[in-house]
Amino acid sequence: MSLDRRGLLLGAGGLLLGGCDRLSQSKPFQGFLDAGEGLTSRVQRLIIPRDALAPEFSAAEMSPVFRTNGNSMPASPAYAQLLAGNFANWSLVVDGLVTRPLALSLEQIRGLPARTQITRHDCVEGWSAIGQWTGVPLALLLKAAGLRSEARYIVFHCADDFGGTPYYESIDLIDAFHPQTILAWGMNGRPLEVGHGAPLRLRVERQLGYKQAKYVMRVEAVDRLSRIGRGKGGYWEDVAGYQWYAGI
């Protein structure tokens, strides 16, 4: 009896799954999903003012525990060496479609004008945590390097990888020049910890967690994303199909 019922349930499940699978594979349905995704990001860009700030919070509202997510220790020997040397030999490269490529030490970056903000981090999975971030506005570095007119996107190359596939992320120039978009070297009043992306990570506060690239080593200005990784603009976008525009 219970076996029959189970068989029936599994059978019905198979039908449902079959239906969903067929839908997922159908071209018109994919077109419908693409149209929805395009509409969502365009409408958001349309109704959210360019410089609208993500909500900022008071110190009292900070999460007592800010969990780490994704990689919490890059596996590469090169990173291990940099960490062992307290990042004294580390440098951030800013290059690509710029007129004056930069290579900055951590000390130099900490010496630049900084912005401190207490913001909410929203993971794509659904949880949120509030933390304080201190870092150099990305706009400042991009202005120093001098973006060439062909530049459309800013790509962040990271020191960590998932099974050999390097982590990377990208944003457009609207978010790159947003006042809250910073390369953070400090968190909650202390130097950024390894679990949270030491020595430098991206904060792009109007988007989801997977855009907040940790262990940033190189900032590259590009005219298109198709040449990097599998061409979708980020590690999770490439391997799992997450939206490149992660404002939703």
Partner 1 sequence: MATSAAELSGSAPPAEPLKGGDTVYRHRLSTRLWHWINAVAITFMLGSGLMIFNAHPRLYWGAAGANADHPWLEIGATRTSGYLRVGRVKLDTTGLLGRSRGFDGQERTYAFPDWAAAPGVYDLAGGRRWHFAFAWLLVIPGLAFWLFSFANGHFRRDLRLTGSELRPANLWHDVKQHARLRFPTGAAARDYNVLQKLSYVALIFVFLPLMVLTGLAMSPGMDAGWPWLLTLLGGRQSARSLHFIVAMAILGFIVVHLLMVLLAGPINEVRSMITGRYKLPEDQR
Closest among 191, 209, 210 to 199, alpha carbons compared: 191
Token pair, residue 119, equals 């913001």
Here's the x/- map for partner 1, 133-172, by CB under 8 A: it reads as ----------------------------------------
Residues binding partner 1: what is the number (CB under 8 A)? 56
Instruction: Write the DSSP string, 200-229.
Output: -EEE-TTS-GGGS-SSEEEEEEES-STTST
Question: What is the length of the chain?
Answer: 248
> What is the Cα–Cα distance from 19 to 84, expressed in whole angstroms?
53
Q: Does 65 bind partner 1 (CB under 8 A)?
A: yes
28, 64, 113, 163: residue in contact with partner 1 (rule CB under 8 A):
64
151 Cβ contact list (under 8 Å, min separation 6): 96, 97, 98, 173, 221, 222, 223
37, 95, 161, 193: residue in contact with partner 1 (rule CB under 8 A):
37
Per DSSP bridges, beta strands 91-96 and 216-222 are parallel
Q: Does 247 bind partner 1 (CB under 8 A)?
A: yes
Q: Does 8 bind partner 1 (CB under 8 A)?
A: no
35, 78, 80, 88: residue in contact with partner 1 (rule CB under 8 A):
35
> What is the Cα–Cα distance from 221 to 67, expressed in whole angstroms?
31
Here's the x/- map for partner 1, 184-223, by CB under 8 A: it reads as ---------------------xxxx---------------
Q: Which positions touch partner 1 (CB under 8 A)?
A: 6, 9-10, 12-14, 16-17, 20-21, 23-24, 32-33, 35-37, 39-40, 44, 47-49, 52-55, 57, 61, 63-67, 120, 122-130, 205-208, 236, 240-243, 246-248
